[in-house]
Amino acid sequence: MTTEGLARDDALSSRRPFPADAFERLDESDDSEFYRKDRFVQHLDSTALSTVEAVIGQLITEPEPVILDLMAGWDSHIPEKLKPSAVVGLGLNRNELSNNRSLTEILFHDLNKDPVLPFPDDTFDVVINTVSVDYLTRPFEVFGEVARVLKPHGLFLVIFSNRMFPAKAVKLWREATEQERIAIVKEFFKHTPMFEKPQVFVSEGRPRPAEDKYAHLGIPSDPVYAVYAERRGNDSTRPKRPEVRIVFDEDTRLEQEGNAPDKGGHGIHCPHCGQKMKKWAVPVNPFTNWDMEFMFICFNDSCSYYVKGWEVMRKQGNSGTSYRAMYDPVRKTFMPVPVPHSFALRESIVE
Ligand SMILES: C[S@@+](CC[C@H](N)C(=O)[O-])C[C@H]1O[C@@H](n2cnc3c(N)ncnc32)[C@H](O)[C@@H]1O
């Protein structure tokens, strides 16, 4: 362990339920060096990003909030309908911060070197932290600081997924399951008494957008997890923030009211065309590791997902292949299953 690591441990040992090496990283070099390189990339697929925006849009209820985007990059995911009076972006890449259209102020500050936030008490209505909490080596101090700079009843919203720069993520995060990561962030909140009990929002198993570069891998959309809490305050008459409720558009309308995959026991419906999916016996062969007996597949040849799939796959160098929407009832997840022609897989339809 580095000397810096030891100092951190001393400071935190009395408050922390994690092992001594939990916040070590594979790459302990200066963070500002690592983030000097511009990364004008989308860190999540488009479905997941719209979920992130919706979560932010629904939980921020203040009319003209003062927002801190903690560990900001080039996009703060703040929906158009919000009209913040100020958005301060704190991060490590100057180009990304300067190109972030939401920001009214930018601040270059390394939280792992100095977790003290350079703002007076009670400054912000909301602090957001998106897909970045995994890089904090001193999270308890940072969470304490966030509580200090939030106004009473102000919101700290931590959003994450399952992608990361592994070299810079802390060991605790790298080695945790996705469920454990939710518990880890809750733990950060719970150790800051100024916060109310943290709430959790989870979005998993949505269909991956057909145009996404990883669509052919058969993986669902990137999951979105949000753990959030208000700073304690005295105003008991203040209305509570709403529960997050995501309504999807035509292509991803999975969770729309009355449109869950199993419509009240009336079968599983394709999230793309709405047709009933067929129960399909999973073949026993050594090439898949599917451990369930049945899946559900949309065999509608007019389904937009299947129709568009030929072109999407051709552009990725897989001419002569498309994919159909498949539902895994064990994991409650939609995913694409590749098909070389319209008749493929039909031999295993069981109803
Ligand atoms: C995966 S990016 C996410 C950027 C942005 N929040 C978003 O949602 O697109 C991680 C961000 O964390 C910031 N970051 C990483 N380590 C940091 C540190 N020690 N102090 C402050 N910011 C840091 C980087 O500048 C980078 O922009």
Query: Do residue 204 and residue 258 come from a single domain?
Result: no
Q: Is the CB–ligand 1 distance for residue 72 below 6 Å?
A: yes
Residue 315 lies in a domain: yes
Instruction: Identify the residue with better confidence: 195 or 246.
Output: 195
Name the average pLDDT for the chain: 86
* Residue 296 near residue 337, CB atoms below 8 Å: no
**Å from CA of 228 to ligand 1 middle:** 18
**Torsion over CA: 100, 101, 106, 112 (sign):** negative
Q: Is the CB–ligand 1 distance for residue 75 below 6 Å?
A: yes
The whole model's pTM is what?
Answer: 0.72
Instruction: Identify the residue with better confidence: 14 or 46.
Output: 46
- 194-211 mean pLDDT: 87
Question: pLDDT tens across 138-185, in order?
Answer: 999 999 999 999 999 999 999 999 989 899 999 999 999 998 999 999
Residue 98 lies in a domain: yes
**Å from CA of 133 to ligand 1 middle:** 8
Q: Is the CB–ligand 1 distance for residue 150 below 6 Å?
A: no
Structural domains in the chain (count): 2
What is the DSSP secondary structure assignment for residue 283, as one 8-state letter? P
Interatomic CA distance for residues 291 and 294, integer angstroms: 9
Helix (H) or strand (E) holding 50: helix 46-59
Secondary structure class of 156 (helix, strand, coil): strand
Q: What is the pLDDT of residue 76?
A: 96
- 114-134 mean pLDDT: 98
Q: Is the CB–ligand 1 distance for residue 91 below 6 Å?
A: yes
pLDDT at 228 over 80: yes
Give the range among 200-214, 239-253, 282-296 with minimum mean pLDDT. Answer: 239-253
Query: Do residue 152 and residue 21 come from a single domain?
Result: yes
pLDDT at 200 over 90: yes
Query: Do residue 198 and residue 272 come from a single domain?
Result: no
Query: Do residue 124 and residue 39 come from a single domain?
Result: yes
Interatomic CA distance for residues 82 and 86, integer angstroms: 11
Residue 41 lies in a domain: yes
Query: Do residue 115 and residue 83 come from a single domain?
Result: yes
Which residue from 71, 111, 165 has its CB within 8 A of the most atoms of ligand 1, so it is best to mutate? 71
Q: Hunting for tokens 């180009």 — which residue is that?
A: 95
**Percent of the chain having pLDDT more than 70?**
86
Q: Is the CB–ligand 1 distance for residue 132 below 6 Å?
A: yes
Query: Do residue 124 and residue 226 come from a single domain?
Result: yes
Q: Hunting for tokens 């493929």 — which residue is that?
A: 344
Q: What is the pLDDT of residue 169?
A: 95
* Residue range of the domain that includes 324: 250-348
Last residue of a domain, one of 183, 198, 230: 230
Residue 323 lies in a domain: yes
Query: Do residue 261 and residue 222 come from a single domain?
Result: no
* Residue 169 near residue 135, CB atoms below 8 Å: yes
Query: Do residue 182 and residue 121 come from a single domain?
Result: yes
**Percent of the chain having pLDDT more than 90?**
57
Q: Is the CB–ligand 1 distance for residue 43 below 6 Å?
A: yes
Query: Do residue 144 and residue 39 come from a single domain?
Result: yes
